[in-house]
Amino acid sequence: MKTIDDLQVAGKRVFVRADLNVPLDGTTITDDGRIRAVLPTIARLAEAGAKVIVASHLGRPKGAPDPKFSLAPAAARLGELLGRDVSFAADTVDDGARSTVEGLADGQVAVLENLRFNPGETSKDDAERGAFADRLAALADLYVGDGFGAVHRKHASVYDLPARLPHAAGGLIATEVGVLKKLTEDVRRPYAVVLGGAKVSDKLGVIDHLLGKADRILIGGGMAYTFLKAQGHEIGGSLLQEDQIPAVREYLTRAKEQGVEFVLPVDVLAAAEFPDLKTKAPANPVTVSADVIPADMQGLDIGPETRKLFASKLADAATVFWNGPMGVFEHPDYAEGTRAVAQALLDSPAFSVVGGGDSAAAVRQLGFDENAFGHISTGGGASLEYLEGKTLPGLAALED
């Protein structure tokens, strides 16, 4: 896989497929971590005299322009972080994009409007996707893939476009792949994996693949209740994916046979109602045993004893991968479980990887220093699919 060191970029139009899929509250960016992550690549190209064309998706518009998914706020924030003017094209491949790109001088940067405003970006039809890639290719001379959060998608700008232009991986993708290899090849042990988040179905593939690699797997978040139910425990009104219980039971059996330690919550914070995440009004949760959650209550965070248990299981680890919060961390009454895991990673001597998505947002929201962790990934889904052993289209497209 070539890197930008292998490209002659001065005076060239360089298309950078970034991941600017930032969370928005109206037009206000609530977490600019993904913009900061790609910043070094964009700055380096601009400083080398490239005409930099940055493109990304944001959210899930249905193949047509939708103002609430505009990349304009991300373009403005990118300009602030770069400390230079950043042009913004009001479309992806039409007159706005063409005129914006034509107006770039060496060292200048432009951002195209949301790629998913065009149905060709995400089309499952190869011809439609290819036609959109052709139009994107007409805007540039070179391609740099640096949107790690999208490399698991077979989309036009991720998969088809690199085949049409001389291409290389940006600094972010090179870093991400290097880190993930430390979780799959020649891993330092003990190797602990912490999985949380809402749906167990999102994590079954990575659990399946890691059963032969990890020494212990800690389960928290909403997905823990399906595991507890599979063990025959009462979980009240907690989140449950009943159709996944047979698969969960199979994994628990395989883990025991292979000597992989599964660690589940022993207590949880529970309440009768889901908390109000807008007002953050006090939720007044109670701590209950994880094996007998009252019928009229739902578990919303791991409890104090589980926090201690999880910390003890991470204390001697040499490698830790963490994906998914331990509870509804957006509400202060249910943030302590996620905070405890983050702190345990900092207290451990382990090489720690925080696997993108909500986990990365939680680390920043809870006030931790990102640089204190071994690595914070920009791609939750991409990280998980890599760890599942899947071929990621966006990475395959960058191989020579």
Per-residue pLDDT at 212: 81
Residue 20 in marked binding region: yes
pLDDT band for position 13 (cuts 50, 70, 90): very high
Query: Torsions phi, psi of 260, nearest 5?
Result: -95, 125
Per-residue pLDDT at 357: 67
pTM: 0.88
Residue 59 in marked binding region: yes
Residue 47 in marked binding region: no
Question: For the ranges 100-104, 258-262, 380-384, 393-397, which has the lowest average pLDDT?
Answer: 380-384
- DSSP conformational letter for 116: G
Rounded to the nearest integer, the mean pLDDT of the chain is 95
Q: Where are the alpha helices (DSSP H) in the chain?
A: 33-47, 72-82, 95-102, 126-137, 171-181, 204-210, 224-230, 245-258, 304-314, 336-347, 357-365, 380-387, 393-396
Per-residue pLDDT at 356: 67
Q: Which domains does the chain have, with CATH numbers?
A: 4-174 (3.40.50.1260), 187-387 (3.40.50.1260)
How does pLDDT run across 274-286, given as a tens digit for each residue?
999 999 999 989 9
Residue 303 in marked binding region: no
Active site residue ranges: 34, 199, 357, 381
- DSSP conformational letter for 3: B
The pLDDT of 82-101, averaged and rounded, is 97
pLDDT band for position 400 (cuts 50, 70, 90): confident
> How does DSSP assign 120-168, residue by residue?
TTT-S-HHHHHHHHHHHHTT-SEEEE--GGGTTS--IIIIIGGGGS-EE
11: its two tokens: 């005076």
Residue 358 in marked binding region: yes
